[in-house]
Amino acid sequence: MATKSDGRLRPQKYPDELRERAVRMVQEIRRETGESHGVITRVARELGVGTESLRGWVNRADIDEGRRPGTTTADAEKIAKLEREVRELRRANDILKAASGFLRDRARRSPEEVRPLTSEEVAAVVEFIDAHRTKESGGLRWGVEPICQVLEIAPTTYWSAKTRPPCARKIRDAELGPAIEAIWVKNYSVYGRRKLAKAVRRAGLDVGRDQVARLMREHGIRGASREKKRFTTRPDPAAVRAPDLVKRNFTATAPDQLWVADFTYCSTWSGVVYVAFVIDVFSRRIVGWKAARTMHASLVVDALNMAAWARRGSSLEGLICHHDAGSQYTSIAHTDRVAELGARASIGTVGDSFDNAMAEAVNALYKTELHRNPAALAANGGHWRGLDDLEIATCGWVGWFNDDRLHSELGDRTPAEVEAAHYRALAQANAA
């Protein structure tokens, strides 16, 4: 036995010639003397080889020559080869599975295409190889060459990309990527490609929409999508209903001409929380809101009172307050408060969501951008516990909605900017 550097013994590798000679000697002695007992031990001692090693060689030779049942060396080699091929196929299959998810929408060349990879596709492949090269399948390491073989890419493509110094675009991408992601996170992680590109340019970064889209893919950034509207209000058949003064014409030429109102419900660990909003149609500003554990008339009245307080100093005479036919809005408390403000109530058709489309759109945004938003839930430390934490978060969201969120209906401006521009133009007209 040979000795390792740490002092431990390791099996000794015997030359093939010595193996064959030892086996031949055992077989010759057995034929000549007819003895079998002790022959292997004697030959092993004479040749200086291990007894058990020699016994294994002799047994293997007997099997190969048909004197003993078992798998021959040739068959064992075939089986080992087939087993390795199976492991290699399993590895190739695992590589393809991993690559199909990792490279989706990033490396778009199909097997039928004959063209060089784009720089973006090469970068995606390099990233995939770096992330998976040390993995194993069936005892086989994935490695660079096997991955390249499965993906039908020359290994030199990978090694060249790894040793090539970063180009100007890569350097700029390394700077822009984190900045774009930070802007996305700051905006509740809801912006898609178009709005994020607008927000990035507003932040002073010179970047195009296609570049933003590419960096979004690389950083795993996606815009939020809304869910279907669920109805919360229930009409009161006995209540006196105001006429529909809007007729789905949700337009206004100045603030405080038309407000729309609605409320929605939000699930929390401690029960349902109802949130009511009042929106100014001219600027899309949320002028009033209220969160409560019940959907009594006080919910919508308090939201209306907040809107009136927010517009203090402005005349609300002639203002139209439009909402649906829910019992909360047709209640005496709400209709009296609308009249006290000098405003007129307006109610759309029962069960027709289009008759209060703008308010319901705000509800949908609220549910998507805050209540069900994974980023908002993560910032909250998990699902909403109850009224208190949802109310605090709603206050922050309303502030962002009014002052920072870009609205496509407003030409990608914020409600605050729209109102400021209106009053600035009004002041200039009065000064002229």
Using a cut of 0.85, tell me whether the model's pTM lies above it.
no
List the structure tokens of 254. Answer: 């100045």
Let me know if residue 245 belongs to a domain. no
Host domain of residue 276: 258-430
pLDDT band at residue 12 under the 50/70/90 scheme: low
CB 190 within 8 A of CB 223: yes
How many structural domains is the chain composed of?
4
Q: Of 10-14, 78-82, 342-346, where does mean pLDDT reach its minimum?
A: 10-14
Residues 273 and 381 in one domain: yes
Predicted pLDDT at 29: 80
What distance lies between CA 227 and its chain's CA centroid? 17
249 φ, ψ to 5°?
-95, 85
Residue 250 lies in a domain: no
Look up residue 302 and give its two tokens: 């308090």
More confident residue, 41 or 188: 188
Give the span between the Cα atoms of 148 and 144, in whole angstroms.
Answer: 6
Query: What digits encode the pLDDT tens for the residues 221-255?
Result: 888 887 655 545 555 554 556 778 888 889 999 99
* Any domain includes 158: yes
**What was the pLDDT predicted at 237?**
52
Residue 413 has what DSSP assignment? B
Largest Cα span, the chain = 131
pLDDT score at 107: 55
Q: Exposed, middle or buried, 205 (CB in 10 Å: 0-12/13-18/19+)?
A: middle
Task: Specify whether the backbone of 245 is left (phi greater than 0), alpha (psi in -120 to 50) or beta.
Answer: alpha
Residue 32 sits in a domain whose CATH number is 1.10.10.10
> What local confidence, expressed as pLDDT, does residue 163 receive?
87
Mean pLDDT (whole number) for 1-14: 55
Comparing 383 with 153, the larger pLDDT belongs to 383
Q: Pick from 70, 89, 110: which residue ends a domain?
A: 70
Same domain, 403 and 374: yes
